[in-house]
Structure 1
């Protein structure tokens, strides 16, 4: 194996969840076609209480990660916040707000808003900072998902039940465990409008009269519109999702001289078992060495899926020292993969 560009590892994990919700009990509040949602296989998800925002979840996860790693806030050199889908405010720096909440003064901050895959490819920016700044030794990376139910219907956007949660990791230079090996990513910009929100920005500040996320067309309608109702074009895009994931994983492995046979575990988005299998199978990773068993009880936690699943699998002893884990994901038009050596 080639030596990674930066020697850094995850010294501690922390996480925070919204309140437990039973999918079958509340699905009727979100959609009329309840059978369709139940067929996805999700049993439960997390919903943040009224008044609990992304910053609150992110700060709770960050405090736990700092405490578990024995790191004080004043020694953090970089704060990176991945997500959320809809920020609490426009023209506002969520990473700076998180640093303020943690009482971290005069540090570097970065906000990533690329969506579900940002919790994977965001580690590249941490590694880049440590590579360019020898004096920097500790970074706090937080991925959070807190659905704005005014803007999004958590059961009618994509084929997942969207969940409110945050995960935080403390990354330290020369930490010997959970070592970052490589991150690879690329963007296909053609479909950058998939899943966008059409109001709230400068083009259209207000929603149409009478609009509601409960009765508005779902993300599937927008996807069909994006592909101009061309089923062949849509089919090619869906097929390419998995092919490009395998491609970006291969590229990450090549960066450090590894092959598919070196991958022991794969963690994808908290999607259906069939979707996770479509990524894992070409790599020779069996389904039991993925996050397929975790996903039904947690829902799709946006950018927090992969690192939170890794934390839970470490706690359960499902991932052990010496294993190589690939974290991978998609953010509408961006594919990313990160390799971690446990």
Structure 2
């Protein structure tokens, strides 16, 4: 059975930049307080009227161009997002229309910050099995719209953006394995519990998070799932060239890297510039590392993430 390979990457960030200094005028916080606890200096915020599908479109177009692929060749679109344009149809279907794709399947993947890992794992199965010849996987978020800007525990953490990859079948090694997990008993430690009933929002429509519980869970499971991925392929941390993690918190990122024996130079980090862009964070970081030449053919790269649900997972690939 052939492998699926990532043959193109792309990303997009909204023009507006919101710095920690800007936030000092909004909530009781400080640049030092935010940076010390999270590693974040700034984040991007979508413009009024700029939808998740708009961000996804620009990232997707750049990924398709990098892959040398036209819309006519795409036969699968998966958009990982927790901030869709609307309840339905899926943002992936809206993106399909904007791209001019006329064939194949399009659907959304909802695993919050683990969404891109879940979507990449799913697309890999379609491509490696021969059901898809050209898959577009996008992580896109407008998280700024589900934040309570009076809550300094959450509003300082998140930003908006989109990243995308194109997968093609290949006889050469590509994605080696994927490892997905969830524990629904922890659904309430990171959630947006509000809902729409009869045209009225019922409950809290903003992000709620038990930061300490999320941190402890993330540090443990990310170490476990990355080791699981390596063991499944007969590898160790010494065989890795790069870790491209979900960009939630620099302390969580460093903890996982240390457990793998990776140096800081082997970890792609963008959390300082992007904040936590949820499902978009991994493909955003990946695109930067591919375009600046850090990730080269033959490199072993691991993607890992944890998100609400709680969900977590890792994908190991050979570039």
TM-score, structure 1 as length reference: 0.83
User: Aligned-pair distance for 1:241?
Assistant: 2.1
Report what 1:251 is aligned to.
Answer: 228
**1:272-317 Cα distance to aligned partner (Å, 9 max, x none):** 432211111111011221124x321222111111122122112222
Separation in structure 2 between the aligned mates of residue 154 and residue 107 of structure 1, nearest angstrom: 43
Answering whether residue 312 of structure 2 is matched by residue 312 of structure 1, we say: no
Gaps of 5+ in 1: 225-233
Counterpart contact for 2:14–2:47, Cα < 8 Å: yes
Separation in structure 2 between the aligned mates of residue 160 and residue 316 of structure 1, nearest angstrom: 28
Answering whether residue 191 of structure 2 is matched by residue 196 of structure 1, we say: yes
User: Aligned-pair distance for 1:122?
Assistant: 1.6
User: Aligned-pair distance for 1:37?
Assistant: 2.7
Pick one of 77, 92, 97 that aligns with 2:94: 97
Q: Which has the higher strand share?
A: 2
Answering whether residue 182 of structure 2 is matched by residue 187 of structure 1, we say: yes
Separation in structure 1 between the aligned mates of residue 311 and residue 136 of structure 2, nearest angstrom: 23
Separation in structure 2 between the aligned mates of residue 127 and residue 77 of structure 1, nearest angstrom: 13
Pick one of 276, 290, 314 that aligns with 2:253: 276
Separation in structure 2 between the aligned mates of residue 26 and residue 198 of structure 1, nearest angstrom: 28
Report what 1:67 is aligned to.
Answer: 65
Residue 249 of structure 1 aligns to a residue whose secondary structure is helix
Separation in structure 2 between the aligned mates of residue 287 and residue 154 of structure 1, nearest angstrom: 34
Counterpart contact for 2:124–2:167, Cα < 8 Å: no
Separation in structure 1 between the aligned mates of residue 62 and residue 272 of structure 2, nearest angstrom: 25
Answering whether residue 107 of structure 2 is matched by residue 110 of structure 1, we say: yes
Report what 2:297 is aligned to.
Answer: 321
The verdict on how the C-alpha distance between 1:283 and 1:92 changes in structure 2, with shifts beyond 3 A counting, is same
Residue 162 of structure 1 aligns to a residue whose secondary structure is coil
Report what 2:157 is aligned to.
Answer: 161
Separation in structure 2 between the aligned mates of residue 175 and residue 154 of structure 1, nearest angstrom: 52
- Paired residues, what number? 316
Pick one of 29, 49, 64 that aligns with 1:33: 29
The verdict on how the C-alpha distance between 1:151 and 1:139 changes in structure 2, with shifts beyond 3 A counting, is same
Residue 58 of structure 1 aligns to a residue whose secondary structure is helix
**1:133-170 Cα distance to aligned partner (Å, 9 max, x none):** x2521101111111253554497454963111111111
Separation in structure 2 between the aligned mates of residue 67 and residue 256 of structure 1, nearest angstrom: 32
Separation in structure 2 between the aligned mates of residue 155 and residue 324 of structure 1, nearest angstrom: 40
Gaps of 5+ in 2: none
Counterpart contact for 1:10–1:175, Cα < 8 Å: no
The verdict on how the C-alpha distance between 1:267 and 1:131 changes in structure 2, with shifts beyond 3 A counting, is closer
Pick one of 5, 14, 21 that aligns with 2:17: 21
The verdict on how the C-alpha distance between 1:159 and 1:273 changes in structure 2, with shifts beyond 3 A counting, is farther
Pick one of 113, 116, 119 that aligns with 1:119: 116
Residue 244 of structure 1 aligns to a residue whose secondary structure is helix
The verdict on how the C-alpha distance between 1:107 and 1:153 changes in structure 2, with shifts beyond 3 A counting, is farther
Residue 50 of structure 2 aligns to a residue whose secondary structure is coil
Report what 1:228 is aligned to.
Answer: none
